[in-house]
Amino acid sequence: MRLLFAVPHYFNPDAAGRGRHGSLRRDPAPRVRAVSNCLTAIQQLYGPRQCVIDIAKRTTAPANTPAATADVIVCTSGDHHLLDQLNLDSRYYTHRPTTEDPRLLGYECHAVLRDRLAANYDFYGYLEDDLILHDPQFFVKLRWFAKQFGDGELLMPNRYEAGRNQRVHKAYVDGPIRPEATAAFQNVADVPTLEAEVMGERVAFERPTNPHSGGAFLSHAQMTAWAAAPHFLDRSAAFIGPLESAATLGPMRTFRVYKPATTNAAFLEVEHAGTAFLSKIGPAPKPSVPDAPPAAIASRGDPMHVLYVHQNYPAQFGHVAAALAATPGYKCTFVSRKSAAPGPVERVQYHLRGGATKHNHACTRSFENAVHHSLAVYTALRARPDIKPDLVVGHSGFGSTLYLRDLYPNTPILNYFEYFYHTKGSDLDFRPEFPVSEVGRLRARTRNAMILLDLEACAAGYSPTHWQHSRLPEAFRPKVEVIHDGIDTGFWKPTNEDRRGARAVGGLIVPAGTKLVTYVARGFEAMRGFDVFMKVAKRLCDQRQDVMFAVVGEDRVCYGGDARFTGSKTFKEWVLTQDNYDLSRIRFLGRMPPRELSRLLAASDLHMYFTTPFVLSWSLLNAMACGAPVLASDTPPVREVVRDGDTGLLAPFHDVDRWCERANEVLDDPGAARPLGEAARELMRDHYSVEECLPRMRKLYHDALGRASVTRPVRRRAPARAIAVT
């Protein structure tokens, strides 16, 4: 089978860099990916260079024979294209430069197809440059359709976007439109449906009110008929606009156009790169979960009692516990190392009586500490026979709930699974400039020991992001849901402060006309990219006089082994010795009270967030909730919340040049970047707010109780006593 494709390609950002189409947006990276995927997919599916590898002989043999051929011609307008950035050789496409008005570039592609009719290709395809074919049988299906129903009927594919960590996995984006929008060009009542059997299944086809697909694929006979039509190359923009008309209007005028019916929409489909349409889908409906506890518990006459366990308070559970305790029918208790205190959420303190020492092997210390925490929690709660929880919720990794299965044998335990360690493709090997020692790699294996015990013992669990969930052992993933802790978007919110004038926040005075960039981390360490941030900050200070940096956090290392490389210095001290930094413009503010931090983030012209592949920080989500435009490292799980060019900007973690380039885009025109912050705020409100996450959390609680007996047995406890620690 011989195939010819004509692809219009144009890239020229408008002044604001926020154009309706991807070809008009400021960042070229998404468009480069889209065009590359468009062109490579054609050759991977239909090109002749396909083989099977004979592993035993270490040779290859041709595959998918007889081979097809696919010729691709990319039409451009002037110098406004990205072909020099694709890194694809001449086997993938032929470049046809033109001086055509870019809005009418599609019609130049029509001429390319017409001029090659004498070459007798089997199919002639017009394909927008952000469409990706995935179906090897795409043209086999078209040939079958034409043979079945005739050349006067043209089958168009359904165009879709693929959802990743969004409300839907796949969305077909060209749904029905008002019939009068196409009534002048087609009569959808004329043979409105077709149906046939394909491989034993009935497949239906419909005349769509919206025939647009971003492309059209015609047999030689159909291309000949279209090229002979009086309207061919009339450059009309009568259907929506010139781009849509180039893809759809001519075929719609010439043929009866069909698409696979929605019941079998995937019969013929093509992917639209990106999530421009998916992002328009509203938030998922909240789970239908009553505020009240399950009826079996409510009927007892006393509240549903949830016991939270964490070393720290409030940690990931405090705001959830407070919201639940304020709901009639619930009682919450929180056990931690913090001082005991009464209140809506009673706090119970546990006391450690031992832990790992330097005499323990480095690989066993985490487990040793987790066992001591578990024993201390057990001892503290054994001394409180009045605490009779219906449900225990605890953070796995600290191991604090391990022995509660014995203290409360009929009570389900839910664990929060934040991170499962891997030695490859993880935080451990992401920064080769700070190599992990051999013992450090081995230690990661045993750091998972307590997590594995919790995975086995818990009734259910949850992880805050899809990526963190994906790091868990596959056998346990069905037991664990993805539910974020929830962000208080009523607290972390934008302010009405004018960023153009002088600003005073957190003891920092930002002069009028000065751009404010923020960086927030619990500790200044390699895992959160503090050293790379400082390089970016210095470069930007050298490049421009109108920028100031506010750095929030403490001079400590929370996660990594940075001390191995810094000697007697802290990581911050070590970084500051590596270069000359203008500390009058890079201001270290220490740890800030949450309310001041919220004001600072809301006042930011740009917030920078760096992380290796690791736990997603609250600080990033707080900044997004405050409406700050975000520039973040292109690492997991950041990509789940920062959609490049939509809810923020991404840059490779180590690429200082790219960070500065993208930062300057924002700082040159902060007003043009405000839509990024607005979209980020909307994402936080619709998907990550406490109001959205708490119903899902409550449903998880109720489901766990539903799998356990709700009848509380009589418990006879032994007198409270301490457990010996040896």
What angle (nearest 5°) sits at the alpha carbon of residue 624, between those of residues 510 and 467? 140
392 bridge partner residues: 307, 413
What pLDDT shows up at residue 559? Answer: 82
- Which residue has better confidence, 156 or 566? 156
Collect all residues with Cβ–Cβ distance below 8 Å to 135 and sequence separation of at least 6.
45, 141, 268, 269
What pLDDT shows up at residue 165? Answer: 56
Are residues 394 and 321 part of one domain? yes
What percent of the chain has pLDDT above 70? Answer: 93
pLDDT in tens, 593-613: 999 999 999 999 999 999 999
What pLDDT shows up at residue 25? Answer: 60
What pLDDT shows up at residue 21? Answer: 58
What pLDDT shows up at residue 289? Answer: 58
Are residues 628 and 551 part of one domain? yes
Confidence check: pLDDT of 223 > 70: yes
pLDDT in tens, 568-581: 899 999 999 999 99
What pLDDT shows up at residue 569? Answer: 93
What pLDDT shows up at residue 707? Answer: 73
Phi and psi of 426, rounded to 5°? -145, -170
What pLDDT shows up at residue 714? Answer: 38
The single-letter DSSP state of residue 655 is -
What pLDDT shows up at residue 16? Answer: 41
Are residues 141 and 128 part of one domain? yes
What pLDDT shows up at residue 284? Answer: 54
- Which residue has better confidence, 255 or 290? 255
Are residues 700 and 682 part of one domain? no
Are residues 325 and 272 part of one domain? no
What pLDDT shows up at residue 296? Answer: 74
What pLDDT shows up at residue 6? Answer: 98
Phi and psi of 208, rounded to 5°? -85, 145
- Which residue has better confidence, 65 or 315? 315
**Nearest-angstrom CA–CA distance, 87 and 464:** 37
**Is 566 domain-assigned?**
yes
The CATH number linked to 316 is: 3.40.50.2000
Are residues 274 and 159 part of one domain? yes
What pLDDT shows up at residue 166? Answer: 64
At residue 712 the predicted structure's pLDDT band, cuts being 50, 70 and 90, is very low
Give the Cβ contact number of residue 672 at 10 Å.
16
**Is 83 domain-assigned?**
yes
**Is 560 domain-assigned?**
yes
The stretch 251-266 carries a mean pLDDT of 97
Range of the domain at 444: 301-486+693-706
At residue 708 the predicted structure's pLDDT band, cuts being 50, 70 and 90, is low
DSSP output for 477-522: GGGEEE----B-TTTS------TTS-EEETTEEE-TT-EEEEEEEE
Are residues 110 and 57 part of one domain? yes
What pLDDT shows up at residue 26? Answer: 63
Element containing residue 449 per DSSP (H, E): helix 449-457
At residue 207 the predicted structure's pLDDT band, cuts being 50, 70 and 90, is very high
pLDDT in tens, 74-126: 999 999 999 999 989 888 999 999 999 999 999 999 999 999 999 999 999 99
At residue 297 the predicted structure's pLDDT band, cuts being 50, 70 and 90, is confident
**Is 285 domain-assigned?**
no
**Is 614 domain-assigned?**
yes
How long a stretch of residues is the chain?
A: 726
Strands 503-505, 508-510: pairing is antiparallel
Given 280, 309, 338, the domain boundary residue is 280
What percent of the chain has pLDDT above 90? Answer: 79
**Is 57 domain-assigned?**
yes
Confidence check: pLDDT of 520 > 50: yes
Are residues 339 and 271 part of one domain? no
**Nearest-angstrom CA–CA distance, 95 and 129:** 13
Are residues 83 and 37 part of one domain? yes
Are residues 559 and 528 part of one domain? yes
pLDDT in tens, 316-340: 999 899 989 998 899 999 999 999 8
**Is 290 domain-assigned?**
no
At residue 169 the predicted structure's pLDDT band, cuts being 50, 70 and 90, is confident
Q: How many domains in the chain?
A: 3
Mean pLDDT of the chain: 91
Return the SS3 of 193.
Answer: strand
Are residues 241 and 347 part of one domain? no
**Nearest-angstrom CA–CA distance, 396 and 418:** 7
Please, are residues 133 and 44 in contact by the beta-carbon 8 Å criterion?
no
At residue 677 the predicted structure's pLDDT band, cuts being 50, 70 and 90, is very high
**Is 719 domain-assigned?**
no
The stretch 220-248 carries a mean pLDDT of 96
Measured N-to-C along each axis, helices 365-382 and 438-447 cross at an angle, to the nearest 10 degrees, of 30
The stretch 267-294 carries a mean pLDDT of 76
Are residues 597 and 566 part of one domain? yes
- The candidate with the shortest Cα–Cα distance to 652, out of 524, 536, 559, is 536
Confidence check: pLDDT of 723 > 80: no
pLDDT in tens, 363-421: 999 999 999 999 999 999 999 999 999 999 999 987 689 999 999 999 999 999 999 99
